[in-house]
Structure formats: C-alpha cells, structure tokens
C-alpha cells in the first residue's frame, strides 16, 4: 500500500509530538596512560554535570580505561581535577565507574549500546533504555579521520558507530540521541550516521586537532580539553537546575572558534524537524532528568464504577457464606460485625445463667453430705461411750 508524500507529515506527527520519559547518559573515555589525564577529567566533568542536573547513577554508564586518581605519578593521590586551582575534586567519594580498565573495549561499548550482553550481566553495566528514552553519548580520546582509538590497542570507526545506532533505533532503544565527541577530527565520526532522531556535534573538522585548555604544573599534565571546558563553562554557569529552558541552539551558539582553537561541527539533518527542531530542544532534555509521564485517559475509572464493583464483591461474599452455612447445616454466619457482636453477648449471658444453676445444685449436695458426716460422728461417739460404761 502506497501513501502520497502529502500524508507522510501527518503520519509522522504523533511520533514528533511524543515526549521522552527517561534520560540516560553514556560517558566514555578511551585513553589510558598518565599523559592522557585530561581525557579522564573530561569524562568526570560531564559526569558531575549530569548528576547535578538530576540523572541518577542508575541511568549513567561511565567507562574509564585508567585510574588516574591512584596513579603513582599523581601528586594528589585519590583526586582528579579539571582546573589548575584544584577547587573541585572530580573523583571524590560518590562516583560509580561501570566499566574500568581493560573492560573498556570497542566490543563492550557496542554490546552495551545494542544490548547484546550476557543474561548474567549486572544491571549497572546495561543500558536499560526503550523507545521513550533520551540518550546523551559523550566520547573523548585520541582519534583521526573517521576513527577513535580505544586504549592505543584498537579503533572504533564511524561506520561501527553508525551501525550500532542503527541497531538501537531498530530495537527501539532510544527516542532522541545527542552525540558529542571531543577528539582530533571529531566531526568525521558522525559523518556516516543514518538513523533518525540523532543530533551530533564534535570539537573539530577533518585535518584539525582538538587542543587541551591548560595544564597544572603540580600535576604535570594538561587537565582538560578546550571543547569540553567551554561546554562545561556554559552548563555550570547558565544551566542552574533541571527546570532550565535554555536550548541546545543556545549552547551551540556559545562556541567560539578563537577560544576552542578548532571549528566545532553540528549535524541536524537526521533529526525529525531538521535544524530548527533540534536546536529548540532543551539542554536538560539530554543533560538533565526531566521525566514526562503520560497518563492513559482511557484507563481512568470514576468513583461510581469503583463503588459498583465493591458492592458486587460484597454480594458475592454474602452468597458464598450463605451456601457454606447451608452445606454445614449450622447457624448462619453473621453478615456484618454488629450481628456477630450481639450473638457473642447472648452466648455469654446463657453461659453465666448456666453457671449460677450449677453452683446452687452443688451447694445443696454439700449440705447433705455435711449433715450425714456429723450424724455418723455422733453415732460413733455414742457407741464408744456405751462400751466404756460396761
């Protein structure tokens, strides 16, 4: 059956109007070794922001290939900072790393996104999304033209990412997806996407590098990348809480090529409604935990219906009691509490009257027995006295 092109917008309208009901974040660092400290700080910085805006740990998947906090070169053991003033410890006491060390691989990342994981995989390592979930996917590391390196051992290509997101769409694993990547030649990584409802942005064009922002002389390495730094600056200073109405368009317009030292890119053509619809999406629709719950009007039930159902249930119970009593040929069971109480009082009165009559009968018996005993004693005494007189 064929539809005219004029009908397609009408058929797509319900999907466009539908809202998401959950928010998830997948934050991936792909670089190990101490000199890549900034990549881990990038991920932890985004992690702190999405948690501040309401996404719980249960809906954040974080992949960190190295533990910079415990690296013997770290002058400040147990901490990770994204600024030379070291005002904020990103590591702290309240973080949950879901994939760590050699668990961070291309295979595990793709399995996570497509839900091709073993049945015994812990819930904390699974992306439990559905067709009403908005997902933020943030990746950072070393890359090139259409590839991103994982731990200097393997690579994920732009085609791999595109196919993974396609499987997610076919399996109804997302509603809308925001893809952000901070790496050299980052914009090439989303060039092969072909699945609907994806907004993509990257730090640099082809043949451009992604630069670090600044270094900490005491730590000895760069502590954050420029693209991530200016995203965080906007998010931390202007998006104060999950009720913010600021849009992705305002975030993207804040990018300054002179400050980032590369040309950020954007892709809106896959999004339903194009650039205008994508740019009008609120930032907290991906970075926050705004949950829009729909109520099915057809499932509403008024008070009258509930009363009628309760009355019907009471009648069924009374009928069951009646049949049970008839089958046992015993006193009908009380149909309400008052009847039961009155019956108990009558039974108690009968028991008291019976007790009084029994007490009277026992009293006369005791008097007769006592009199007979006295007569017997008197007879014995008289007999003994007569024998003595002889």
Nearest of 63, 136, 138, 60 to residue 101 by alpha carbon:
63
Residue with structure tokens 């890359």?
143
Cβ-Cβ contacts under 8 Å for 71 (sequence gap 6 or more): 34
Contact 24, 134 (CB under 8 A): yes
Catalytic residue among 20, 39, 142, 175: 142
Cβ-Cβ contacts under 8 Å for 178 (sequence gap 6 or more): 134, 135, 136, 137, 198, 199, 200, 201, 248, 286
CA 184 vs. chain centroid, Å, equals 34
By DSSP bridging, strand 22-29 and strand 60-64 are: parallel
Judge whether 348 counts as a catalytic residue: no
The H or E element containing residue 198 is strand 198-202
Judge whether 70 counts as a catalytic residue: no
The H or E element containing residue 318 is helix 303-328
Catalytic residue among 39, 175, 184, 213: 184
- Count of CB atoms within 10 A of residue 85's CB? 7
Contact 221, 75 (CB under 8 A): no
Q: Which residues are catalytic?
A: 142, 184
């Amino acid at each position: 059956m064929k539809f005219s092109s004029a009908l397609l917008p009408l058929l797509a309208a319900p999907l466009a109007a539908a809202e998401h009901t959950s928010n998830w974040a997948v934050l991936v660092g792909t670089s190990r070794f101490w000199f890549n400290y900034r990549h881990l700080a990038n991920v932890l910085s985004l992690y702190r922001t999405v948690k501040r805006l309401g996404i719980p740990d249960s809906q954040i998947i974080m992949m960190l290939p190295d533990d910079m906090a415990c690296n013997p070169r770290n002058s400040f053991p147990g901490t990770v900072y994204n600024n030379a003033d070291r005002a904020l410890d990103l590591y702290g006491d309240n973080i949950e790393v879901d994939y760590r060390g050699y668990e961070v691989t291309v295979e595990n990342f793709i399995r996570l996104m497509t839900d091709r994981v073993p049945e015994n995989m812990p819930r904390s390592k699974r992306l439990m999304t559905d067709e009403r979930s908005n997902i933020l996917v943030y990746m950072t590391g070393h890359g090139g033209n259409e590839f991103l390196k994982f731990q200097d051992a393997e690579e994920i290509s732009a085609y791999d990412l595109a196919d993974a997101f396609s499987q997610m769409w076919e399996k109804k694993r997302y509603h809308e997806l925001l893809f952000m990547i901070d790496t050299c030649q980052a914009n090439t990584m989303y060039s092969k996407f072909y699945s609907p409802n994806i907004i993509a942005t990257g730090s640099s064009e082809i043949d451009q590098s992604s630069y670090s922002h600044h270094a900490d002389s005491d730590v000895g390495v760069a502590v954050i990348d420029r693209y991530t730094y200016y995203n965080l600056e906007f998010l931390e200073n202007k998006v104060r809480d999950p009720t913010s109405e600021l849009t992705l368009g305002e975030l993207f317009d804040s990018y300054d090529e002179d400050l980032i030292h590369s040309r950020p890119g954007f892709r809106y053509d896959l999004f339903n409604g194009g650039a205008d619809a994508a740019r009008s999406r609120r930032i907290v629709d991906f970075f926050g935990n705004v949950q829009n719950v729909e109520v099915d009007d057809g499932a509403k039930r008024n008070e009258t219906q509930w009363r009628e159902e309760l009355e019907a249930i009471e009648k069924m119970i009374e009928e069951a009691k009646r049949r049970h009593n008839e089958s046992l040929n015993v006193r009908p069971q009380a149909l309400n509490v008052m009847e039961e109480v009155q019956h108990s009082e009558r039974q108690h009165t009968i028991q008291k009257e019976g007790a009084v009559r029994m007490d009277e009968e026992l009293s006369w018996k005791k008097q007769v027995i006592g009199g007979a005993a006295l007569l017997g004693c008197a007879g014995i005494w008289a007999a003994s006295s007569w024998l003595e007189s002889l």
